[in-house]
Amino acid sequence: MQGYESIFIFDPNTTEEAQKEFLAKCKEAVEGNGGALVRQSLWGRRRLAYRVKKREYGIYHLLYLDRTPAALTELERLFKFNEDVLKWYTVGVEDLDGEFAKFENLKESGSAAQSLGDR
């Protein structure tokens, strides 16, 4: 199934409640525009490769949604106007389930960046 993979990074000082509220808004926005949030995953607090808005750490979230351009546009609008979102990136993927399985394997086994340690 084709769709979009969207990763976004929260400010590390964002509360868990605020994160849950924002994720609920994202789900509502996607479904309100005819899309479906297929999967979501919390990657957790990680060190950033470079400082973003004077932050060295961020809380990573990963969303997979079906291929509905209106839903993606609305989701990215939410990212843009939320002060707690430091960065986001969205790509189109051909196989949502395959990509999610790859991500889960990386998450369980540890990525190359984790094996190198925090620099």
**108 vs 64, more confident:** 64
Q: What is the pLDDT of residues 52-94, one digit of tens each?
A: 999 999 999 999 898 888 999 999 999 999 999 999 999 888 8
Quickly name the fold that domain 3-96 has.
Alpha-Beta Plaits (3.30.70)
From the number of C-beta atoms within 10 Å of its C-beta (0-12, 13-18, 19+), residue 8 rates as buried
pTM over cut 0.75: yes
pLDDT tens string 28-48: 999 999 988 888 889 889 999
